[in-house]
Structure 1
Amino acid sequence: MTQSMVTSAIPFALGKADSVDARLDTFRPQLFGNESAIREAMRGRHIHFMSITVVRGEIGEPTHLVFEMSGDGEPDAVIATVAAGLEGPIREIFDTAGIASHKPLRDLLTARRVRTGQGLFATPGLDFCGTPDMTVERIEAEYALARDLRDFFDRSAVQGSPLHVFQQAKAFVAALPQHVALMTPEPLKRIADKDSERFSLGFVACLAGRGLVKFFWPVLLLFGALVLLTTYGAWHAAGTAVGLLALAVGLIVVAVALIAVLAAVYFGLRGLEETNTPFDTTLDPKVMDAISDGENVTKDTQQNHLAGISVMQAGWLRGLTLRIAFWVIAQLATHRFRPGFLGEISTIHYARWVLLPKTNKLLFFSNFGGSWESYLEDFITKAASGLTGVWSNTVGFPRTENLFFKGATDGDRFKRWARRQQQPSRFWYSAYPHLTTARIRVNAAIRQGIGTVSTEDEAVSWLGLFGSKVRPDTLIETFEVQTLLYGGLSKHPYAECLMLRLPEARRAAREWLAQVEPLVSCGDEPPRDKVLILALSSHGLERLGLPQDIHEQFPTAFRAGMGSPGRANLLADTGDDHARKWLWGGPSNEIDGVLLVYAADPATLAHEVAARTTELQVAGGALVHRVTPTPLPTGSAQAQQDTGRSARQLVREPFGFADGISQPIIKGTRRWMRQSDAIHAVEPGEFLLGYPDGRGYFPPSPRVPARMDPGNVLPLAEPTHRRGALIPSFANSSANSERDLGRNGSFLVVRQLAQDVEAFNGFVEEAAALYADHPAVPKLLDPALLPEWIGAKMVGRWKDGSSLVRFPHQPASYHGAPQRNPDNEFLFGAEDPVGERCPLGAHIRRSNPRDSLAPGSAQELGIVNRHRILRVGRGFEAEGANDPEVSQPGLLFMCLNADIERQFEFIQQTWAVAWQFHGLENEVDPITGRGGKLGRLTIPSPNGPLHLTKTKDWVRTRGGAYLFMPSRSALRFLARLPE
């Protein structure tokens, strides 16, 4: 239904103004008090808000009785409704004002209606509605529904799944005759997807062009006519050539003239701004008392009304700039802002600016939620340029610059100015004074959910609306995400990694998954005794019977697998690292999944591994390989990660260096709440499917037709771009909406890396002896530390975890200093731009360059964070002294990421094994890279570089796989795939 904002202004004598104000005051008890005669007369008449304000005229101007009305329907219908409901009271006001008219009230209000528009010759004005398409009837009905549902939950303790609880609530609603009509969903306005009209340069140019035409069309028309007449005359007098020349000259003249007009407007505006005198006086306490008396009129009122009267500055230029400001705000509201929002402000019900005809009075009426102070603070912090653009054209406004700048940003002076313009709200009606716009939207979402919710995640979202609000799309559904995302599980120091092959029969594979699925740990509070994590390979999904069209929606890298020839080239898995030589994950020993078992003690681990292995074998599956990580020491680095407390003993990888220090911090997790570091904080969509990434987009995620999910287990598929928390996802869903198989899932990369510790230690010892007298070796360095210094230059950190950037000459724990948390808040580019402390080619600088590639650039940090991975691996000991394939210790490298190619593979290919990373020449990562004949590291120093040559491949790949770590709901869906 159409919603209209109507202003009618009826003139009367100035001498009657005080009497009219006093008369208006007498009606207040009938508007909100116990004697609510006017309120009862207006009920059910489709009027949202109404006010009557006296606007006193200057000398030679009439005084006006101004009616502000917001209602459902066309303007004439709104006026007719008000006239029918308030004929008696308004006639009493007319008698007090001396307004003698025998016309019906409806005709009088219609005749005196102020029609505003954006045209050059229209009365300037601007309307805003915060609840578009929401009628009074709908708002009140949805409020009653939400209230009854809250009473239902207060009285009932419904047990069961979220979807079962929702279904019980829905049955309760269906049994109430007054709510039956609300069982049918009614559309809600969402954020329009207007990528084509975002603030690109093209969009700004288009707006500017439209603005020029709108405001200067008389000038353009005049010059255009002159050009055509000149061209026509020249063509007749001297022929075509001269006519074309005249046309070209004419167009140039028009362009120059238009530029001159624009320049005159701009410099005229700047001159007015420089000579403007702001008023900064305080308000008379008696006037303030009268204004305050009309605010927060009852304890149940959640709304307020503002009536402001400003005086326009003199001159035609201010009239033009007012129109320009209104037009700009209208364009933003149409093309940029979400429906019902003015920028980020969402508390306004209805608001209107209008220039009262034949006066210099600019009127502003607003019906808003919350206090006056909160309302003004919202505008000052979120929409100051809009306020400034309009009110900079009025007398006494704080000093402005270029129409839209400064002004309202001076918050204290702006609020004092706003109070001076404000009139007491003597006669103000609200149809639903107990509701804010936020509550109206939530009530609408509750009603919408009754007719549309069909899945478990939708039920969770719907239930969250009671006592809460719409769940932001950035808020992680913790209970759905496997626990591995939330930390290194330091309280479960014992672990086993089982590489599985599922039963060949699909039904048997699904039955096994159905048996294991309830045991998989989700959430950020793991069980005390054990944690199980399950991830599936592409081949494993095929074994479970995932349809081909859905399987093909998974990323190419995942479907190809780590052991494929194409991925081998990207990762430099060639020669002795080729997948053909792997212990698992290669073409001859492919796996379908990985089951990670973590336990608090060895007995629990042994029992759990035995039970899960037996279940798999009984079902017809097999154990391809297993890796037993080294138990974590007490007070490990992972404990430090998880708790933020100092670690008593660090976790060290086989070469002896502290591990697990630098990790991204996912926004929305507990760690982020404790440590929201700007360097390491990343959006959840960089690691979880179904959430916005750093650019506001949702990562691609496989989708399932609704018919394949009859149990409504999977969540609804999200749009590709950030939706915002205007309404929940179920608001525009239907029974046929696609489901998201990937949401709350991540991709797990697993690589079994063997480390040649003996060769590495021998190399650093030999290099220390060889380069002891090299000019690049710092004189302050303890000679006993030289082998560790060589190794630290290769890694980028000392063995105790302290960085070379902050500790270039000795580790933080030197001389037995107390154990401290390894430093991690440094910036390579800002603190060590040329690599004299941490070499440009060192392992940690390649793995996470931070701002190294563009020192001091926040944008570069954002780009690098797009390639971060969440490392969750553990080291392992040598497994068999007589078998060279397993006789070396190493690292069970594991990481989580939302995009294997952009994150894990990018780091490996573009940074680790790139020969010319950071401008270097013929170097690769000295620790994990595939050096071969390129084995070298440049160590810069003020005295010249030291070139470490003949570095070897200390790390070998002995197995690997790309796996999908599903959400709890996705695991349930996969276990119940139809035949």
Structure 2
Amino acid sequence: MTQSLVTSAIQFDIERADLVDAKLKEFRPELFGKEGLIRSALRDQGVHFMSITVVRGDTGEPTHLVFEMSVDGEPQNAFDTVGTRLAAFVSDILSVAAIQPTGSLSQLLASHHVRTGQGLFDVPGLDFCGTPGMTVARIKREYLLARELRSYFDTHPAAGAPLAVVARVRDFVKANADLAPLLSAEPFPRLAAEDPSRLDFGFVLSLAFRGLLKFFWPVLCLLGLAVIAATIVAGLSQGFAVGVIAFFLSTMIAAVAILAVVVSVYVGLRRLEAANTPVDTLVNPDVMASLTEAENLKDTQQNHLAGISIMQAGPLRGLTLRIAFWVIGQMATRRFRPGFLGDISTIHYARWLRLPKTNKLLFFSNYGGSWESYLEDFITKASGGLTAAWSNTVGFPCTENLFFKGATDGDRFKRWARRQQQPTWFWYSAYPHLTTARIRTNAAIRQGLGTISTEDEAAAWLGLFGSKVRPATLIETFEVQTLLYGGLSKHPYATCLAIRLSDDSKQACAWLKSIEDQITFGDQPPADRVLICALTADGLRRLGLPSDIGDAFPTAFRLGMGSSGRANLLADTGDDQAGQWLWGGPENAVDAAILIYADSEPTLASYAGELISGIDAAGGRVLHRVTPTPLPQPKPGESAVQTVREPFGFADGISQPIIKGTRRWMRQSDAIHAVEPGEFLLGYPDTRGFFPPSPQVPAAMDPGNLLPLAEPTHSRGTLQPDFSTSGAAAARDLGRNGTFLVIRQLAQYVDVFNDYVGDAAKRYADHPAVPDQLDPGLLPEWIGAKMVGRWKDGSSLVRYPHGPATRKQNGGHFRPDNDFLPGAEDPLGERCPLGAHIRRSNPRDSLAPASKDELSIVNRHRILRVGRGFDASGANDPEEQKPGLLFMCLNADIERQFEFIQQTWATAWQFHGLENEVDPITGRGGGMGRLTIPSPRGPLNLTGIKDFVRMRGGAYLFMPSRSAVRFLARLGSN
């Protein structure tokens, strides 16, 4: 429905201004009391807001009685309502002002209606409505619905599945004759997140061109006529060819002329800005007392602001005011949601206008909350618009280029704003107890009640009662498998089962359904045992997922780690090739992996036995099992978990990304390692603000509405949910809250490694690159540390170049350091070599020292490592007896994260400008590996580095969300 913001300004004698103000103040009880006569008269008349303000004129200017109203329908509705419902009250005010209407009150207001616009000859003005399209009646009905539903939940707490709760609420509403019509949703402005990309260069260029046409068209017309005249005269007198030349020359001259006009306007503006003298005085105490008396009234959540400013003299400021209003209007339409200015959502309505025949710029606004919070919102979130409009008035804080500075000088701006303000004594609001946020929430409650059809929509809807919309970056914790939140150090015993599922999809689904309630989700796992489940692309097919949906998963995942296409990329060649793997290769491919963690060995053994029996009973089988070495636990009296060491003896698990939104991030905000959740979870924004692609499922395949919507407009960065369209037929998101798990069983040849560093220490003992400060007994460890990038105790070479931290601290407790920046602190690699393992696996700022952009780029390739070392000494096969690492990591994009690290950093022979070097620990140099160790006295070149690690099995798996597990487990019954 149309909404109108209407202003009428009636002249009267300034000598009566104080009397009129006093009369307006007399009516306050009739405006704000529940049974006030004015409030009763305007009730249910479609009037949102109304105020009457005295605007005093300066010498030679008239004084005005200004009526400003926000009404449903056309402006005449406002005039008629006041003329009929408030005739007695307004006539009393007019009598005090000595205003004698010549006709009806409605006609008087209509005849003094101030129509505003942004053209050259319009009265300059700009309107803003915070609840567009919403009538007074609708706002009140939806408030009633929300209030009744809150009362319902007081006696009927939400329990069970969200969609079932919503169904019960719908039954309650249907049974109430007053509420039942509200099950039919009305149109509501979309509240989808703003798109910063909408302000592109093309839009700015278009804005400049349209502005030139709008405000400089008289100049353009004159110059156009001059061009035509010059062309005709030259053509008639000198011939056609000369006429054409004259046309082009005169056009060029005209273009220069219009440019000169624009430049002169800009230069004039800058001169006016430089000459402006800001006024920084405090508000008169008596005026301030009146202002505060008129604000923050009891039983209302709203305030009204009437600001009266004096325009700077001259026509140029009139032009820049019009330009400012037009640009603000264009930007608001292009950039913001309907009813919003950025993140500011407190404005019910606002209006700027220049009062005709005066030097006054008026500003009226009805807003929620306090004056202080209202101004702070603008200062911090939308200062450009305020600056552009008010910089044209006297005494405003210093500005630059019309839109800049000014209101950002917060304290001076607030002083200035208070000095412009006038107490609003006569002010009416149809719903003074409601804020814009509450109105939108009530509308969303009604809208959702009539349209939602999925579990995630229902959960979002229930969140409207006493909660708020889940931000796009806030992880739905209990949908995510627990492994994302850490390595489960409090569950020291673990095992990994690589599984082949039954060829019968019903049996495979039955197995998954049998364990779905045992899979552990959330960041607070049970104390005794944890179960994690992940599936390969083959596993998804065995469960019955159609191929067209499976094809929506990333290529790397679909092809699998053991495919020939990944071998060269991962350097899985030679004796690392998939054909020689113990599991995960072409002859022993797996469908799933389950990870079991337990607080004790008996618990692990018992639970693993139960699960293996269940796998066998469902027609599957365990192809391979890896049991990591139990994690070291605190000794009696110790509180900290002991440092985990991998088989070569180095502290492990030190450098990990910190996912924003997790408990670890809340406890330890780290700019170096903090990354967006979308780098590890599907359905969340990544470092660049985009949502990673996620496989989708047609709605028909999800009759139980188990999966979230593929485009959840009710939760992605909105201030209120948007349930404008039903999700019943919308695609479902199979990937949301899921991630990809990479598992690689790596055998580590500890004896070969120790022999190599020992021999190298003897070979290079007298090399000038060996620091004089180094204890000779540490030389083998120093060689190994240079290869790894850390000492065995976890201390970094960047911070501790000549010995491990624990040695310096005489063996005291040391927490491995991880906040260093190798590029800034060690740009030449003289402490930590450029090709060292940790510098390859996480370069940080190494490739562009001290660059925040480089850190952001590197964080796009981080992985979350969740692996554990193992000791397979009891295996029958001698080759399986090697200890090693069950490497596991989580990432949202296998190619961009895990594979990128492996190919572009770890095994790249030219990494960081090096030549013929690979990762000295995990690289496969075939005995020809090398590492350059720079030093001020020349480099030490480690050569003949052997292969210390061998690939023994692995897989790419998808670790689904709780909802996805439930969906997949029921595929066999669809």
Counterpart of 1:698, as a letter, is F
Aligned mates of 1:124, 1:704 — CA distance in 2: 53
What is the Cα deviation at residue 248 of structure 1? 2.3
With over 3 angstroms needed to count, the CA separation of the structure-2 counterparts of 1:943 and 1:719, relative to structure 1, is: farther
1:164-243 matches, cutoff 5 A: 164-191=164-191, 198-243=198-243
What is the Cα deviation at residue 817 of structure 1? 3.6
Is 1:270 the counterpart of 2:264 in the alignment? no
Q: Equivalent residue for 2:675?
A: 682
What is the Cα deviation at residue 195 of structure 1? 6.3
Counterpart of 1:88, as a letter, is A
Q: Equivalent residue for 2:605?
A: 606
Equivalent pairs, count: 970
Aligned mates of 1:361, 1:262 — CA distance in 2: 26
- The answer to whether the 8 Å contact 2:847/2:912 transfers is yes
Question: For 1:899, what is the secondary structure of its paired residue?
Answer: coil
Deviations 1:566-590 (A, max 9, x none): 1112111111111101110100001
Counterpart of 1:901, as a letter, is E
Question: For 2:59, what is the secondary structure of its paired residue?
Answer: coil
1:659-808 matches, cutoff 5 A: 659-718=652-711, 723-728=716-721, 730-808=723-801
Kindly report structure 1 stretches of 4+ aligned residues shifted beyond 6 Å. 192-197, 719-722
Counterpart of 2:756, as a letter, is F
What is the Cα deviation at residue 646 of structure 1? 8.2
- The answer to whether the 8 Å contact 1:346/1:437 transfers is yes
Question: For 1:559, what is the secondary structure of its paired residue?
Answer: helix
What is the Cα deviation at residue 237 of structure 1? 2.4
Aligned mates of 2:961, 2:831 — CA distance in 1: 43
- The answer to whether the 8 Å contact 1:187/1:732 transfers is no
With over 3 angstroms needed to count, the CA separation of the structure-2 counterparts of 1:73 and 1:768, relative to structure 1, is: same
Counterpart of 2:491, as a letter, is H
What is the Cα deviation at residue 882 of structure 1? 5.4
Aligned mates of 1:721, 1:920 — CA distance in 2: 50
Counterpart of 2:675, as a letter, is V
What is the Cα deviation at residue 649 of structure 1? 2.1
Q: Equivalent residue for 1:443?
A: 442
Question: For 2:952, what is the secondary structure of its paired residue?
Answer: strand
Counterpart of 2:832, as a letter, is C
Aligned mates of 2:98, 2:710 — CA distance in 1: 64
Question: For 2:178, what is the secondary structure of its paired residue?
Answer: helix
Q: Equivalent residue for 1:3?
A: 3
Q: Equivalent residue for 1:920?
A: 914
Question: For 2:942, what is the secondary structure of its paired residue?
Answer: strand
What is the Cα deviation at residue 635 of structure 1? 4.5
Counterpart of 1:921, as a letter, is E
Deviations 1:279-305 (A, max 9, x none): 11111111111111111111x211111
Aligned mates of 2:827, 2:858 — CA distance in 1: 16
TM-score by length of 2: 0.97
Counterpart of 2:155, as a letter, is R
Q: Equivalent residue for 1:327?
A: 326
Q: Equivalent residue for 2:580?
A: 581
Instruction: Name the stretch that deviates more: 608-617 or 265-274.
Output: 265-274
What is the Cα deviation at residue 731 of structure 1? 4.3
Q: Equivalent residue for 2:897?
A: 903
Q: Equivalent residue for 1:58?
A: 58
Counterpart of 1:210, as a letter, is R
- The answer to whether the 8 Å contact 1:717/1:738 transfers is yes
- The answer to whether the 8 Å contact 1:50/1:67 transfers is yes
Counterpart of 2:8, as a letter, is S
- The answer to whether the 8 Å contact 1:117/1:123 transfers is yes
With over 3 angstroms needed to count, the CA separation of the structure-2 counterparts of 1:975 and 1:197, relative to structure 1, is: closer
Aligned mates of 1:923, 1:79 — CA distance in 2: 84
Q: Equivalent residue for 2:25?
A: 25
With over 3 angstroms needed to count, the CA separation of the structure-2 counterparts of 1:861 and 1:83, relative to structure 1, is: farther
Q: Equivalent residue for 1:461?
A: 460
- The answer to whether the 8 Å contact 2:50/2:68 transfers is yes
What is the Cα deviation at residue 328 of structure 1? 1.6
Aligned mates of 2:8, 2:567 — CA distance in 1: 76
- The answer to whether the 8 Å contact 1:635/1:650 transfers is no
Aligned mates of 1:194, 1:487 — CA distance in 2: 33
- The answer to whether the 8 Å contact 1:481/1:968 transfers is yes
- The answer to whether the 8 Å contact 1:198/1:336 transfers is yes
- The answer to whether the 8 Å contact 1:922/1:934 transfers is no
Aligned mates of 2:634, 2:731 — CA distance in 1: 46
Aligned mates of 2:191, 2:642 — CA distance in 1: 51
Instruction: Name the stretch that deviates more: 497-506 or 152-161.
Output: 152-161
Aligned mates of 2:643, 2:78 — CA distance in 1: 73
Aligned mates of 2:291, 2:195 — CA distance in 1: 44
Q: Equivalent residue for 1:510?
A: 509
Counterpart of 1:799, as a letter, is K
Question: For 1:700, what is the secondary structure of its paired residue?
Answer: coil
1:377-396 matches, cutoff 5 A: 377-396=376-395
Question: For 1:950, what is the secondary structure of its paired residue?
Answer: strand
What is the Cα deviation at residue 202 of structure 1? 2.3
Aligned mates of 1:931, 1:115 — CA distance in 2: 80
Q: Equivalent residue for 1:559?
A: 558
Aligned mates of 2:526, 2:84 — CA distance in 1: 67
Aligned mates of 1:778, 1:70 — CA distance in 2: 80
- The answer to whether the 8 Å contact 1:29/1:35 transfers is no
Match of 1:873 among 852, 855, 867: 867
Q: Equivalent residue for 2:953?
A: 959
Instruction: Name the stretch that deviates more: 596-605 or 473-482.
Output: 473-482
Q: Equivalent residue for 1:315?
A: 314
What is the Cα deviation at residue 454 of structure 1? 2.0
Question: For 2:110, what is the secondary structure of its paired residue?
Answer: helix
Q: Equivalent residue for 1:888?
A: 882
- The answer to whether the 8 Å contact 2:502/2:619 transfers is yes
- The answer to whether the 8 Å contact 1:306/1:425 transfers is yes
Aligned mates of 1:894, 1:485 — CA distance in 2: 11
What is the Cα deviation at residue 859 of structure 1? 1.4
What is the Cα deviation at residue 932 of structure 1? 3.0
Deviations 1:590-614 (A, max 9, x none): 1000000000000110010000000
What is the Cα deviation at residue 191 of structure 1? 4.9
Question: For 1:844, what is the secondary structure of its paired residue?
Answer: helix
Question: For 1:754, what is the secondary structure of its paired residue?
Answer: strand
- The answer to whether the 8 Å contact 1:304/1:370 transfers is yes
What is the Cα deviation at residue 647 of structure 1? 4.1
- The answer to whether the 8 Å contact 1:194/1:335 transfers is no
Aligned mates of 1:282, 1:717 — CA distance in 2: 55
Q: Equivalent residue for 1:591?
A: 590
What is the Cα deviation at residue 56 of structure 1? 0.4
Is 1:353 the counterpart of 2:352 in the alignment? yes
Q: Equivalent residue for 1:641?
A: none
Aligned mates of 1:281, 1:672 — CA distance in 2: 45
With over 3 angstroms needed to count, the CA separation of the structure-2 counterparts of 1:882 and 1:971, relative to structure 1, is: closer
Aligned mates of 1:720, 1:959 — CA distance in 2: 42
Counterpart of 1:943, as a letter, is R
What is the Cα deviation at residue 159 of structure 1? 3.5
- The answer to whether the 8 Å contact 1:573/1:579 transfers is yes
What is the Cα deviation at residue 98 of structure 1? 0.6
With over 3 angstroms needed to count, the CA separation of the structure-2 counterparts of 1:440 and 1:934, relative to structure 1, is: farther
With over 3 angstroms needed to count, the CA separation of the structure-2 counterparts of 1:834 and 1:200, relative to structure 1, is: farther
What is the Cα deviation at residue 501 of structure 1? 0.7
Is 1:944 the counterpart of 2:938 in the alignment? yes
Aligned mates of 2:843, 2:240 — CA distance in 1: 66
What is the Cα deviation at residue 205 of structure 1? 1.6
Aligned mates of 1:497, 1:209 — CA distance in 2: 65
Aligned mates of 2:170, 2:927 — CA distance in 1: 71
Match of 2:834 among 831, 840, 865: 840
Question: For 1:518, what is the secondary structure of its paired residue?
Answer: coil
Question: For 2:363, what is the secondary structure of its paired residue?
Answer: strand
With over 3 angstroms needed to count, the CA separation of the structure-2 counterparts of 1:527 and 1:439, relative to structure 1, is: same
1:335-414 matches, cutoff 5 A: 335-414=334-413
With over 3 angstroms needed to count, the CA separation of the structure-2 counterparts of 1:206 and 1:722, relative to structure 1, is: farther
Q: Equivalent residue for 1:849?
A: 843
Instruction: Name the stretch that deviates more: 525-534 or 105-114.
Output: 105-114
Aligned mates of 2:404, 2:605 — CA distance in 1: 69
Aligned mates of 1:502, 1:121 — CA distance in 2: 78
- The answer to whether the 8 Å contact 1:697/1:720 transfers is no
With over 3 angstroms needed to count, the CA separation of the structure-2 counterparts of 1:105 and 1:646, relative to structure 1, is: farther
Q: Equivalent residue for 1:99?
A: 99
